[in-house]
Amino acid sequence: MTTPLEQLVARSNAIGDDPSLVVYGGGNTSAKGLLVDHLGREQRVMWVKGSGADMRGSIASDYPALRLDDLLPLLDRGEMTDEEMTDLVARALLDPGARRPSIETLLHAFLPYTHIDHVHADAICALTNHADGPRIVAEALGDGFAYVDWMRPGFTLSKVVADLGDRDGVVLAHHGLITWGESSDECYRRTEAAVERARAYLDALPLRVDAPARVPDMPDDEIERLLLRLRGAMARTGRRVLWIDRRLRAVADHPLLPEIVEGGVSSADHMLRIKPRSAVVASSESAALDAESYAADYAAYVERNADAMPEGFGMHDPMPRVVLVPGLGAVTSGATLRDAEVAADIAVHTHGVAATVAERIGTPLGLSERETFRFDYWPMELYKLTLRPPTPDLAGFIAIVTGSASGIGRGIALELAARGASLVLADLDGDGLEEAAERIRESGAPAPVLVAGDQSDASVVAETVRQAVRTFGGLDGAVINAGIGVTGTLEELTLDQWNAAMRINLASGFLMTQSCMRAMKEQGSGGSLVYVASKNAFGPGAGFGAYSVSKAGMVQLMRIAALEGGAAGIRANAINPDAVFDNSRLWDGGLREERAAAHGIAPDELEDFYASRNILKRRVTTADVARTAAFLLSDASSRTTGAVVPVDGGVAGAFPR
């Protein structure tokens, strides 16, 4: 026989699996029962979802247990501040180290039922989010369900709902549905039945408007300009990843789009992820101005309500989280691609509710500006943000790494992924790319986009940059690393060998520089180009002429990029490594043996030989180069351009000059 807690977790998981009921941390559930505490005493307890926990995939530890005998007497209080309530609820925890209980803990405690659900169902919110909510709810669900106009969660709302415990359930305007039962199955059935009745009622209503006309598809080249310009405008308040979601195409094309947007969020808690309103952008030409106009309007809204700003808080990032684009759908943003996808999922539901209201009932009605602000800047809700893991230093940073299937390129990719960057990895070796991507996925970092192809082919380079823009929304940096080792004296080299070195080591760098600079200038927020050259650029070796010349050319290419990109905030710097062997394929194909013979040593002595000749007497690893690349890409080097950084253990003959 399952325990009340096990039943609660199972029911909550089922609810969380249905995004039409709750999305990402929304809603809360509870169960009551008996528990033996650490002293062997039997206690009446309630398990309730913890603040910020997501019902989908939740586990027992997401539902802290509280002593009911410490909570029920609070019903007799006349009033209570949020801070007092939070303190008293925390004192009722059986485990003081448990997750902080939901802000609606008292609502669950005061209702005299064993199992309670509170969901933010789309269909229920569509019944309430307009001027005629009470009548529509009564028609759809019957008189057995009580209607409560908007009230911010907390002690007062808990007392109001407690007085309605003799009803079949409670509908909260802009906040969803509360149902209950003596068994978990009964509670879940009531939730499902009420939501299904709401859906059936809405489906039976006649449409007030004709079917939305489809706006012509936005052309691919305009989509890319739109993304770059949007991201450039947003960059002034921080880097972020953009995500295109075409599920919102019908909403973006809707003739009642202004009303839908003005209707705000369907459930107040959605503000935490997507802000109180979405933006609308008509074209790539207006993208930057529309985003900046939204930010200005948001700042004005904060200024109008400044007297209600909680002490110690300041204005949130004023840029939009959701941008609706006719002919496309929506563009959402976040510190990672996952964050942007979550925002899109919420927008699908929140705007779907407003569209349903507009089409079948009347003008969608959001919360008043004052109530919107009070929730937007409510410390009890913002607490959830503190539960997130720390943001990595390169979160929201979009970078390309070429030659990333092995060696230095793979090491750089792993380092950047660990720092939270969104990556496009490019190499001729598709299998090697897959292996690198698997290493990244195993580390828990965001999965990279892979482009297998010859980076000396202009079409492949263009596709690499395009993948960065279309997948992540823009481009902040590139590590230009693709290359091969070519040996032979000037007398021995063939023209084909010489040209291969120049094409793969240098021309590919030119093509990537050109494509990146064009994208970065369109974006308008600067960028960083890092060229992996070589010690040989300044300290060439006999029998290594083609390689040395190509790497010297790369340094010069970097300097020209620094000169030409500086006005647009694009930085360019080079790294000169030497004798990096770990996981490198540069030394394959006889190069190790050839260089060992040139120095009169055995092939397995080559690594120690190179280490012995540098000043520090140390081997140089891919990790050493990777950390330098991360520094040159990051804002820590924001005042550095045109520089060459040796990562060679100190080779005097190759000092930059």
Active site (catalytic) residues: 547
Which DSSP state fits 307?
A: G
Amino acid identity at 206:
P
**Three-state DSSP class for 241?**
strand
Taking a C-beta distance cutoff of 8 angstroms, is the pair 508, 614 a contact?
Answer: no
CA atoms within 13 A on the CB side of 248: 32
Q: Which residues pair with 426 in a beta bridge?
A: 402, 451
Is residue 308 within a helix (H) or strand (E), and if so which, with residue range? none
* Contact by Cβ (8 Å): 565, 515: no
DSSP helix/strand/coil, 657: coil
Segments of 285-402 assigned E as strands: 322-325, 329-334, 398-402
Cα angle value 185/190/196 (rounded, 5°): 125
Residues 554 and 325: their CA atoms lie apart, in Å, by 41
* Encoded tokens for 398: 């979009």
Strand partners, 577: 647
Exposure letters 617-650 (e unless 16+ CB within 10 A, then b): eebbbbebbbbbbbebbbeebeeebebbbbbbbe
Per the DSSP assignment, residues forming a β-bridge with 115 are 31, 181
- The distance of Cα 282 from the centroid of its chain, to the nearest Å, equals 24
How many alpha carbons fall within 13 Å on the CB side of residue 81? 5
CB atoms within 10 A of CB 487: 21
How many angstroms separate the CA atoms of 376 and 103, rounded? 15
Query: How far apart, in Å, are the Cα atoms of 387 and each of 52, 59, 65, 100?
Result: 7, 17, 19, 10
CA 16 centroid distance within chain = 20
Q: Are 357 and 125 in contact (CB under 8 A)?
A: no
Residues 6+ away with beta carbon under 8 Å from 18: none
End-to-end CA distance of the chain: 78
Q: What is the 3-state secondary structure (H, E, C) of 586-645?
A: CCCCCHHHHHHHHCCCCHHHHHHHHHHHCCCCCCECHHHHHHHHHHHHCHHHCCCCCCEE
Cα–Cα distance measured from residue 106 to residue 87, given in angstroms and rounded to the nearest whole number? 12
Distances (CA, A) of 490 to 285, 497, 534, 548: 53, 11, 19, 12
- Which of 307, 471, 517, 356 minimizes the C-alpha distance to 20? 356
CB crowding 159-175: b at 16 or more within 10 Å, else e: bbbeebeebbbbbbbbb
Contact, 12 vs 102, CB < 8 A?
no
| Bridge partners, residue 243, by sequence | 332
> β-pairing, 241-245 with 329-334?
antiparallel
8 A C-beta contact, residue 116 and residue 9: no
Two tokens, residue 423: 């990556």
